[in-house]
Amino acid sequence: MDGSTLASATAESTGELAEVRPVSAAQEAWRRFRRHKLAVASAAILIFMVLAVLFGPLLWRVPINDVDFTAHLEGPCAAHPLGTDDLGQDLLARMLYGGRISLAVGLAAMLVGVVVGTVVGAVAGISRGLIDTGLMWLTNLFLSLPQLPLLLLIIYLFRDSLKKVVGPEAGAFILIVIVVGGLRWMTVARLVRAQFLSLREKEFVEAARALGASKFRQAVHHILPNALGPVIVTGSIDVANAIIAESTLSFLGLGFPSDIPTWGRLLYEGKDYLDSAPHWALFAGAAIFVTVLSINFIGDGLRDMLDPRRVL
Amino acid sequence: MTKYLVRRLSTAVPSILGISIVLFIILALAPGDPFADLATNPNVPPEVRTALHAKFGLDDPIPERYVHWLVAMLQGDWGFSFVSRVNVSTLILQRLPTTLLVLGLSQVLALMIALPVGVGTAIKPYSFFDQVASTFAFVGFSLPTFFTGLLFILVFSIHLNWLPFIYRSDLDVTGWRWYWEEFRQAFMPIAVLGLYQGASWTRYIRSAVLDVIRLDYVTTARAKGLREPAVMIKHVLRNALIPIVTLVALEMPAIFGGAIVTEQIFRVPGIGSLLISSILANDTPVIMSITFVFSCLVVLFNLIADLLYGWLDPRVSYS
């Protein structure tokens, strides 16, 4: 202790603090996430749904297009746990298959949106002047575009030609992913830019700059890893938004072709039988709702987990 | 004030121009002839087709075509519907009031839910009421409008048989009965949209009020003996509304998206259902115009939000 002065009164307690078992960043993050009970439950539900759509079709081996008019519009029963549709096709098999597409679209569209948004936000955040202004003008322009009409317009105009090139299934998938993701990058871009603007003035970036790091290196190696927290939260919620966007398109009859039973498509077909076979639309709608709700809760839990300023 | 308005308008014009460029690029990039359907459509005489081709100057260079298109749009010459064979502008003006009425009333409903609940949860955060209301808000904005709409139809039209599930513009009753029938048929679309928006606004209002409610000036207002309602409305809410207005303006495109879906579910004869039926019928001029109208509405509401912003926050100077 000779010659050393305590920086502040609170520094005296370091002896006590040292006895607390050190926790790794991952453990600390998990501790924070665990506090959000609904988020943990949602994560369990979401994992179950992902496993179900991935491995369910291996266990439930009923073909999705097995037409059986004797079992037309049947409610849930032993042979068809979720009932059948107007052609007697098994809805459990169709839901499991469609769930793969719905979840894959959500994930892929989120990735497109996050990648585009991060690149735009990072470029705008690291550069000053005209590039920054121009990119932000573009972002604000995209924010004021009416998304659903534009989605419908693009799909209407490009559907047929893409179908000819890569086939109906892949064509619809690529188009929906690109368009949904391409109209959802703006929030991420603004978040990343805001983070860049504050982080690029921090000492550690200044140190990197002093060591001669290029702008690219500063952005990718130093600033970006520290800016990712809010992006992860927004990205997780964007999965839910993308699933809703895809279901909306399918529900309006403009998403996937009728032989690909995504959840939105099942809802679209089932809505005309609401009086005689409500289970058809209800199961599909409930699947969308439960997925979106659990993703939103997980996003909320991630926000608690990744926000270090928040005391829990 | 006028100066401020002019300045705001001068920033709205570039956005509309930008949006029109985006729309036009999409149309120009689209493969094939946008009027190819006319060749196979027996309802359209061949001379109309050649006239349209000449009018739209499909062989001109793209910038020139854009200018032509923009000038025509600005002059109110939005073309001619292939399907119903009337001017697109007439068609849209017929449908627009219904859309705006349903949208407007649903936003009023959303505010009526979100304001009291949001403020109530923020006054006592983490209380039982807050937990219940926040959970409901989460459920509310996770329920997609198309699913809520179907649930409403299932419960109120099919099981209880209280409300009609198809919106009719040609009600054959008069007087008070007419208002009652209008209310009955508009109830479900308004409720679906209003509940969805109300749920997400509740969260915004809760966090915005929480941000200001602990500030010193609120304590000052209480200390000088103001009644609680006056503190809440004049001091807390007015300041909390500033970020809320921004968020609501940002959400405008999503609100219009929800309107398209609800109009389609309940067959409300607005421009949203017109858009869907035009897409299904390949009616390009109507589709383009409606998308443009929606864009203009978004820009208009952003402008209104900016003006509100200036009114709510005196620090935003008008000069």
Give tens-digit pLDDT for A232-270. 888 888 898 899 888 888 888 887 877 788 888 888 888
Classify burial at A174, counting beta carbons within 10 Å of its beta carbon; exposed 0-12, middle 13-18, buried 19 or more.
middle
Is A144 within 8 Å of B302 when comparing Cβ atoms? yes
Q: Which of A140, A145, A240 sits opposite B22 (nearest CB)?
A: A145
Provide the residue type at A180 as one letter: V
Q: What is the pLDDT of residues B145-201, one digit of tens each?
A: 888 888 888 888 877 777 777 777 666 777 777 777 777 878 888 999 999 989 988
Furthest CA-CA distance within chain A: 92
Q: Judging by beta carbons within 10 Å of its beta carbon (0-12, 13-18, 19+), is residue B9 exposed, middle or buried?
A: exposed
Whether B88 shows a pLDDT value over 90: the answer reads no
pTM for the structure as a whole:
0.83
For A21, which DSSP code? Answer: P
Residues of A whose CB is below 8 A from B32: 160-161
Helices B145-152 + B238-266 axis angle, to 10: 60
Phi, psi of B87 (to 5 degrees): -65, 140
The whole-number pLDDT of residue B240 equals 85
Residues of A in contact with B275 (CB under 8 A): 149, 152
On whether the CB atoms of residues A90 and A72 are closer than 8 A, the answer is no
3-state secondary structure B256-282: HHHHHHHHHHHCCCCHHHHHHHHHHCC
Give the whole-angstrom CA distance, residue A221 versus residue A223. Answer: 6
Residues B270-292: pLDDT tens digits?
A: 888 888 888 888 777 788 888 88
Q: Are A246 and A268 in contact, with CB atoms under 8 Å apart?
A: no
Helix axes A168-182, A147-166, angle to 10 degrees: 150
Least confident of A137-141, B80-84, B180-184, B245-249: B80-84
Spatial distance between the Cα atoms of A183 and A25, rounded to a whole number of angstroms: 34
Cα separation, A292 vs B202, whole angstroms = 18
CA-based radius of gyration for chain A? 25
* pLDDT at A13 exceeding the cut of 60: no
Residue of B nearest to A184 (CA): B254
Length of chain A as a residue count: 312
Question: Taking residues B224-235, what's their average pLDDT?
Answer: 86
Outline where chain B has alpha helix (H): 2-29, 36-40, 46-56, 62-74, 88-123, 128-142, 145-152, 176-213, 216-223, 228-230, 238-266, 271-280, 284-312
Question: Of the candidates B59, B85, B69, which has an alpha carbon nearest to the alpha carbon of residue B26?
Answer: B69
Count CB pairs under 8 A between chains A and B: 128
- The interface predicted TM-score of the complex, written ipTM, equals 0.80
Put simply, the chain B residues between 79 and 138 with a CB less than 8 A from any chain A CB are: 135, 138
* Beta-bridge partners for B80: B87
Give Cα A16 to chain centroid, integer Å. 43
Tokens of A18: 């040292």
**Is the model's pLDDT at A66 over the cut of 80?**
no
- C-alpha A217/C-alpha A204 separation (Å) is 13
Q: What is the pLDDT of residue A198?
A: 85
> Which residues fall within 8 angstroms of residue B144, CB to CB, at 6 or more apart?
A244, A247, A248, A285, A288, A289, A292
Q: Is A231 helix (H, G, I), strand (E, B) or coil?
A: helix
Residues of A in contact with B294 (CB under 8 A): 146, 149
The pLDDT score that the predictor gives to residue A4 is 41
The model's confidence at residue B40, banded by pLDDT at 50, 70 and 90, is low
> B279 and A152: CB-CB below 8 Å?
yes
**Average pLDDT for A83-107:** 82
pLDDT score, position A233: 84
